[in-house]
């Protein structure tokens, strides 16, 4: 069997080469650049030590982007899972047309986040926007929805949650359909009904779906980029940037390649820590009946 | 439950609509369709029409579409996107199932290292290494080329495709490989004649999932494809919306044309899309 193992290892070569060259090498390169002061294009650059990282701690805009990232990540995750579960329970109930409802809830997932952001512009635009039109019907003054950082953040979080709630719904739906009827029948014999059935059977048995859904939503939310570019471009006054959009802003608009790299490394470490903790936490909690 | 009924009939029996489930269904469907409805109705209005965006046009006005189709940029965008999506999918499927075969069949220390490597690089956020990737692509003269974007996109997509293929191959009985080996097949022959033909379902899932993400990708295309002739569908739509004198009606038509292939594909192959989402969830 030894010979066979050696031959099989050749099968790794193409994939490994590609990942090493286009993922690991850039990561190392980004790490190296994070210790350098460089504008991104000139041949001149100077060693800057850990000063880029010290600058990060002092950078007000970095902290705004960092807390925004937390909001986009955890806010969307909360909304997507609560509504995803509600939608899944609703669609799972057998009534006419449940498949059509499922189909439409999942539809926005298919559309590019960037394009969805642009589509939502028809709603939040100041002149002729649908939200302002509705306000007008009630005799209220129009609102410049994205002119305020706090409101911008909220709208981005809601938009992202709305667009991708279908992913959570599908995962919960698969989880629900995997629960054997046997448990419910047994519980009914024991006199459990409605809420108790949900609390003691459905919810614990959905744990694997919860963990997949939370991890997927959270990682997606923490990387949020496209919809912000389309809706606010990080503005007004850099108030709605996530770490992702802040990095590209620093690199391409402010020409701070070294500093952008350092922020990138911080973002990578942050997401790595979050996903490791989540994986550990969820794995220890799953139940089996 | 009466005896002799088919299971499907029993299911039909229990399908009942209550008034509240009907109302709720309508509200939910409307709230998810509304943006696309608004986009569609905008795309059929002329640029001086300032009636409510929620209303349908009272005339037939296909000019927004005609302008885009005549200019031909939409076809160029389709072609670019198809080349990039096709290339990315090809690399991810071929390299992915090869690596997955080795990963699923070997059990050694080296294999554990590879497995952990694949799972770790999966979470590298594309933007956190932006500066590193971009300067690498500049150095190898890959800006505004198809191949550089295909290489980077497929490298970032490979961990997921390896993960999905591995989960599938693990469930193919090992006895099949062993029987082939006894019959004198080499490792490559076993892979080619025994394993590959069985991978159709998971390949379909990977192709669909990766196809959508390649079609909708914005991040690397926007930095790598700097020439207008190279624009993908999403970049073309972006060009419309970020123009200084934005024509929101023309932009709506561009967005509809750009997203149409994806929407049609989704409506006709729904089941596969949903299965793909489930398979890609890392457990």
Tens of pLDDT, residues A147-188: 888 899 999 999 999 999 999 999 999 888 888 888 888 888
**Model confidence pLDDT, tens digit, residues A95-105:** 777 888 999 99
B216 CA to chain A: closest CA distance, Å?
Answer: 5
Q: What is the pTM of this model?
A: 0.89
Question: What's the pLDDT at B8?
Answer: 42
**Residue B222: Cβ within 10 Å count:** 19
CB-based burial of residue B8 (10 Å sphere; 0-12 exposed, 13-18 middle, 19+ buried)? exposed
In a domain, B25, yes or no: no
B159 CA to chain A: closest CA distance, Å?
Answer: 8
Write the CATH number of the domain with boundaries A59-285.
1.10.3720.10
pLDDT band at A286 (very low <50, low <70, confident <90, very high): low
In a domain, B52, yes or no: no
Report the complex ipTM: 0.87
| 8 Å CB contact of B187 and A4 | yes
Sequence-distant (≥ 6) Cβ neighbours of residue B221 within 8 angstroms: B84, B149, B232, B234, B235
In a domain, B166, yes or no: yes
| 8 Å CB contact of A29 and B135 | yes
> How do the domains of chain A map onto residue ranges?
59-285
In a domain, B22, yes or no: no
**Residue A149: Cβ within 10 Å count:** 18
Say if A69 is an interface residue toward chain B (CB within 8 Å): no
Residue B159: which domain range? 67-279
| 8 Å CB contact of A113 and B218 | yes
Say if B255 is an interface residue toward chain A (CB within 8 Å): yes
**Model confidence pLDDT, tens digit, residues A197-245:** 888 888 888 888 888 899 889 988 999 999 999 999 888 889 999 999 9
- CA gap A37, A257 in Å, rounded: 7
In a mutational test of the B interface, the residue from A11, A136, A273 whose CB has the highest number of chain B CBs within 10 Å is: A11
Sequence-distant (≥ 6) Cβ neighbours of residue A30 within 8 angstroms: A261, A264, A265, B128, B129, B130, B131, B132
- CA gap A125, A143 in Å, rounded: 9
Is residue A90 within 8 A of residue A165, CB to CB? The reply is no
pLDDT band at A287 (very low <50, low <70, confident <90, very high): low
Question: What's the pLDDT at B52?
Answer: 81
pLDDT band at A5 (very low <50, low <70, confident <90, very high): low
Q: Phi first, then psi: give them for residue B100, nearest 5 degrees.
A: -65, -35
| 8 Å CB contact of A275 and B136 | no
Length of chain A: 289
Residues of chain B with pLDDT under 70: 1-17, 282-283
- Say whether pLDDT at A4 is over 60: no
Mean pLDDT of A16-21: 93
- Please calculate the CA angle B108-B111-B113 and round it to the nearest 5 degrees: 120
| 8 Å CB contact of A248 and B130 | yes
Mean pLDDT of A127-132: 87
Residue B236: CATH number of its domain: 1.10.3720.10
B27 - beta bridge partners? none
**Model confidence pLDDT, tens digit, residues B210-242:** 999 899 999 899 999 999 899 999 999 999 998
Peptide bond connecting A249 to the previous residue in cis, omega within 30 degrees of 0: no
In a mutational test of the B interface, the residue from A27, A69, A94, A119 whose CB has the highest number of chain B CBs within 10 Å is: A119
A110-129 residues touching B, CB cutoff 8 A: 110-116, 118-123, 128-129
- Say whether pLDDT at A32 is over 60: yes
| 8 Å CB contact of A271 and B127 | no
- CA gap B240, B237 in Å, rounded: 5
Question: What's the pLDDT at B37?
Answer: 93
- Residue in A closest to B159 by C-alpha: A19
Q: Report the domain count for chain B.
A: 1
């Amino acid at each position: 069997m030894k010979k066979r193992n050696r031959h099989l290892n050749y099968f790794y070569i193409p994939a490994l080469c590609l990942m090493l060259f286009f993922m690991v090498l850039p990561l190392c390169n980004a790490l190296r650049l994070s210790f350098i002061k460089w504008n991104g294009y000139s041949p001149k650059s100077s060693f800057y030590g850990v000063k880029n990282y010290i600058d990060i701690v002092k950078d007000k805009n970095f902290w705004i982007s960092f807390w925004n990232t937390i909001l986009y990540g955890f806010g969307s995750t909360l909304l997507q899972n609560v509504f995803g579960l509600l939608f899944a329970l609703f669609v799972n109930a057998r009534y006419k047309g449940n498949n059509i409802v499922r189909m439409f809830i999942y539809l926005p997932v298919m559309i590019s986040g960037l394009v969805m952001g642009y589509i939502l512009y028809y709603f939040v635009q100041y002149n002729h926007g649908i939200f302002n039109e509705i306000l007008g019907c009630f005799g209220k003054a129009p609102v410049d929805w994205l002119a305020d950082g706090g409101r911008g953040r909220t709208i981005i979080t809601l938009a992202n949650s709305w667009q991708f709630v279908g992913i959570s719904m599908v995962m919960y739906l698969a989880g629900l359909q995997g629960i054997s009827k046997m448990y419910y029948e047994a519980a009914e014999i024991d006199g459990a009904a409605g809420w108790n059935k949900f609390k003691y059977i459905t919810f614990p048995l959905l744990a694997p779906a919860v963990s997949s859904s939370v991890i997927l939503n959270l990682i997606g939310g923490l990387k949020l980029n496209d919809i912000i570019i389309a809706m606010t471009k990080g503005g007004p006054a850099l108030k709605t940037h996530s770490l992702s959009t802040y990095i590209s802003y620093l690199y391409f608009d402010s020409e701070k390649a070294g500093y952008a790299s350092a922020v990138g490394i911080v973002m990578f470490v942050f997401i790595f820590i979050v996903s490791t903790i989540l994986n550990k936490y969820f794995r220890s909690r799953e139940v089996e009946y | 439950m009466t005896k002799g009924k088919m299971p499907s009939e029993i299911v039909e029996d229990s399908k009942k609509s209550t008034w509240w489930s009907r109302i709720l269904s309508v509200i939910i469907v409307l709230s998810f369709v509304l943006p696309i409805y608004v986009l569609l109705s905008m795309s059929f209005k002329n640029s001086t029409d300032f009636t409510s965006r929620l209303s349908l046009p009272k005339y037939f006005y296909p000019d927004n579409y005609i302008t885009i189709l005549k200019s031909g940029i939409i076809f160029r965008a389709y072609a670019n996107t198809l080349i990039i999506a096709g290339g990315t999918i090809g690399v991810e499927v071929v390299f992915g199932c090869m690596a997955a075969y080795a990963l699923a069949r070997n059990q050694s220390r080296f294999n554990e290292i590879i497995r952990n490597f694949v799972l770790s690089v999966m979470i590298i956020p594309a933007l956190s290494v932006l500066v590193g990737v971009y300067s690498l692509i500049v150095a190898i003269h890959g800006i505004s080329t198809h191949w550089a974007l295909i290489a980077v996109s497929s490298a970032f997509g490979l961990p997921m495709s390896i993960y999905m293929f591995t989960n599938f191959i693990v469930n193919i009985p090992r006895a099949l490989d062993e029987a082939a080996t006894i019959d004198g097949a080499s490792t490559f022959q076993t892979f080619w004649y025994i394993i590959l033909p069985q991978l159709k379902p998971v390949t379909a899932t990977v192709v669909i999932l990766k196809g959508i993400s390649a079609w909708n990708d914005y991040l690397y295309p926007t930095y790598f494809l700097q020439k207008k002739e190279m624009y993908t569908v999403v970049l073309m739509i972006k060009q419309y919306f970020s123009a200084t004198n934005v024509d929101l009606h023309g932009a709506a038509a561009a967005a509809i044309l750009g997203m149409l292939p994806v929407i049609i594909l989704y409506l006709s192959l729904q089941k596969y899309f949903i299965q793909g989402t489930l398979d890609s969830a890392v457990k």
